[in-house]
């Protein structure tokens, strides 16, 4: 019989089945969409660009624009130089963005296309910009693609400036537009002038107006990306997503940074607020204090439904760690915690959280897949699953209550408008988790009612 214990499954190195991640360009495209008047450009085949656009559109239920170098057999043999030159000219002529953000694909990386040289040699219209990043999808995940594209913008555009601009830069991590709005609201309440980069609010949650806007009103402006280099400090949210771009900005422009966990749950949000308070010297506003108090109140009201309940948590590394932290705060036991994104820091940070709450018996794995998670759950079931749409077959097969959270959520609507960060986000998470467990309890009670009395 096949040994399916966590230890054995953890050793499977050469194959991923139902991976808990997607490819780098998806993240690069998402980051580029968070820059105002920007056209993301996929340097590869049309199939790659179609997949990435579809993936984002299915999660956000919004059009995710992108152009492509449209590789065919010729480009595969001779390189994509002529394709990218023609593409950039056509995109500026036809779609008129202010900036084109190019990311590579597996094919162009395998060929070894030198985008840096291509960009230096191409004719770029006056006042327009072209930036690029490398996103080979056979390493990393969409999270790497996201922060690589941030690094690309910073390397090309950010300027040290002659004087500091008095602002904080906030790197929000790979979160929904609804989360970015909430982070900006919190920063405003904390009296912190800031530049959020990237910022997909107002782009991938733009309102229905009756006319299609290729470039909606939102997004970090090019001037703001330049001005990142003159910021006083960077708050990089999501320690595993934010460190690389914060490092690049520090090296290029000398802007110091503070790495913070994604503000999911009470303590992580407290840390964000305290960091903003130290920066702006502002007291925490009554509005935020009230929200924190309300959150504690609802947790106290319903804690007996959650205490000791086991959870399987999976998704992007910073989101999974944030959910894990919140689960521990509300008395739950994270039984399995996985991410598909490689990086041993994930396991170290998860272990530190478990040690802090003296919780044992949790399996944590980076670079993991949902097949392994399913096998572990078959060995020892959990009370609830928290993660992306890709876990729904496991939840259905094993009859486990399931809360969709993270990226991607392909089979539900409107989720990207509502935050999971901040105290309000934690309240929403708490409501979803508690009511999902109570629904199950109601169903089980109803099932018992119809049982014949023996
Ligand atoms: S070929 Fe590479 S870049 Fe293209 S969709 Fe597949 S994994 Fe992504």
Q: Enumerate the domain spans of the chain.
A: 24-157, 168-280, 286-447
Burial of 18 (0-12, 13-18, 19+ CB in 10 A): middle
- Work out the percent of the chain whose per-residue pLDDT is above 90: 93
- Work out the percent of the chain whose per-residue pLDDT is above 70: 96
How far apart, in Å, are the Cα atoms of 138 and each of 135, 308, 360?
Answer: 9, 39, 34
Q: Is residue 94 pLDDT above 70, yes or no? A: yes
pLDDT of residue 7: 56
Overall average pLDDT of the 213-241 stretch: 98
Q: Is residue 8 pLDDT above 60, yes or no? A: no
pLDDT-derived band of residue 12, with 50, 70 and 90 as boundaries?
Answer: confident
Q: How many Å lie between the centroid of ligand 1 and the Cα of residue 106?
A: 6
Give the pLDDT confidence of 292-328 residue by residue, as tens digits. 999 999 999 999 999 999 999 999 999 999 999 999 9
Ligand 1 pocket, mutate which of 49, 137, 141, 340 (most atoms under 8 A from CB): 137
Q: What is the homologous superfamily of the domain 24-157 according to CATH?
A: Nitrogenase molybdenum iron protein domain (3.40.50.1980)
How far apart, in Å, are the Cα atoms of 76 and each of 71, 72, 251?
Answer: 7, 7, 35
Q: Is residue 363 pLDDT above 80, yes or no? A: yes
The residue whose CA is least distant from atom 3 of ligand 1 is 105
Overall average pLDDT of the 7-11 stretch: 57
Q: Which CATH number fits domain 168-280: 3.40.50.1980, 3.40.50.150, 1.10.10.10, 3.40.50.300?
A: 3.40.50.1980
Ligand 1 pocket, mutate which of 25, 56, 109 (most atoms under 8 A from CB): 25
Q: How many Å lie between the centroid of ligand 1 and the Cα of residue 105?
A: 6
pLDDT of residue 14: 81
pLDDT of residue 450: 61
pLDDT of residue 9: 53
pLDDT of residue 5: 55
Rounded CA gap, 429 and 404, in Å? Answer: 10
Domains 24-157 and 168-280 share a fold: yes
Level-2 CATH architecture, domain 286-447: 3-Layer(aba) Sandwich (3.40)
Overall average pLDDT of the 411-430 stretch: 98
pLDDT of residue 448: 79
Q: How many Å lie between the centroid of ligand 1 and the Cα of residue 87?
A: 19
Q: Is residue 61 pLDDT above 70, yes or no? A: yes
Give the pLDDT confidence of 108-139 residue by residue, as tens digits. 999 999 999 999 999 999 999 999 999 999 99
pLDDT of residue 1: 40
Q: Where are the beta strands (DSSP E) in 267-405?
A: 310-314, 333-338, 363-365, 384-387, 402-404
pLDDT mean across residues, the chain:
95
Contact status, residue 385 vs residue 367, Cβ threshold 8 Å: no
Atom of ligand 1 minimally distant from the CA of 106: 2
Q: Is residue 147 pLDDT above 70, yes or no? A: yes
Q: How many Å lie between the centroid of ligand 1 and the Cα of residue 109?
A: 11
Across 29-33, 91-95, 438-442, least confident range: 438-442
Q: Where are the beta strands (DSSP E) in 261-338?
A: 310-314, 333-338
Give the pLDDT confidence of 17-45 residue by residue, as tens digits. 999 999 999 999 999 999 999 999 999 99
């Amino acid at each position: 019989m096949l040994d399916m214990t966590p230890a054995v499954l953890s050793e499977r190195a050469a194959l991923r089945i139902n991976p808990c991640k997607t490819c780098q360009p998806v993240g690069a495209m998402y980051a580029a969409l968070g820059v105002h008047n920007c056209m993301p450009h996929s340097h590869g085949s049309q199939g790659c660009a179609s997949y990435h656009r579809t993936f984002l559109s299915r999660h956000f239920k919004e059009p995710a624009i992108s152009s492509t170098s449209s590789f065919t057999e010729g480009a595969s043999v001779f390189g994509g130089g002529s394709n990218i030159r023609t593409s950039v000219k056509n995109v500026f002529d036809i779609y008129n963005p202010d900036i084109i953000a190019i990311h590579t694909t597996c094919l162009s990386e395998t060929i070894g296309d030198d985008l840096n040289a291509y960009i230096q040699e191409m004719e770029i219209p006056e006042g327009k910009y072209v930036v690029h990043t490398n996103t080979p999808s056979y390493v990393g995940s969409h999270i790497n693609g996201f922060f690589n594209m941030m690094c690309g913008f910073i390397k090309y555009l950010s300027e040290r400036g002659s004087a500091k601009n008095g602002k904080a830069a906030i790197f929000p991590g790979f979160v929904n537009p609804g989360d970015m709005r909430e982070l900006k609201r919190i920063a405003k309440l904390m009296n912190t002038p800031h530049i959020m980069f990237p910022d997909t609010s107002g782009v991938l949650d733009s309102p229905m107006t009756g006319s299609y806007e290729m470039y909606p009103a939102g997004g970090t402006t090019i001037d703001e990306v330049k001005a990142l280099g003159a910021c006083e400090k960077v708050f990089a949210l999501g320690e595993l997503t934010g460190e690389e771009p914060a490092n690049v900005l520090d090296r290029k422009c000398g802007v110091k940074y503070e790495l913070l966990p994604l503000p999911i749950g009470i303590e992580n949000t407290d840390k964000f607020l305290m960091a903003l308070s130290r920066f702006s010297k502002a007291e925490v506003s009554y509005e935020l204090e009230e929200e924190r108090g309300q959150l504690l109140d609802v947790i106290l009201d319903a804690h007996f439904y959650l205490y000791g309940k086991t959870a399987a948590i999976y998704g992007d590394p910073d989101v999974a760690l944030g959910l894990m932290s919140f689960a521990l705060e509300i008395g739950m036991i994270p039984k399995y915690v996985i991410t598909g994104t490689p990086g041993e820091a994930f396991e170290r940070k998860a272990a530190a959280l478990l040690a802090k709450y003296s919780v044992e018996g949790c399996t944590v794995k980076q670079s993991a897949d949902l097949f392994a998670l399913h096998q572990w759950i078959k060995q020892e079931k959990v009370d609830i699953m928290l993660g992306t749409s890709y876990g729904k077959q496991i939840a259905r097969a094993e009859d486990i209550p399931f809360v969709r959270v993270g990226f991607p959520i392909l089979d539900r609507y409107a989720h990207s408008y509502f935050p999971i960060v901040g105290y309000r986000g934690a309240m929403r998470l708490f409501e979803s988790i508690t009511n999902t467990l109570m629904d199950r309890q109601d169903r089980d009670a109803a099932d018992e009612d119809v049982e014949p009395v023996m």
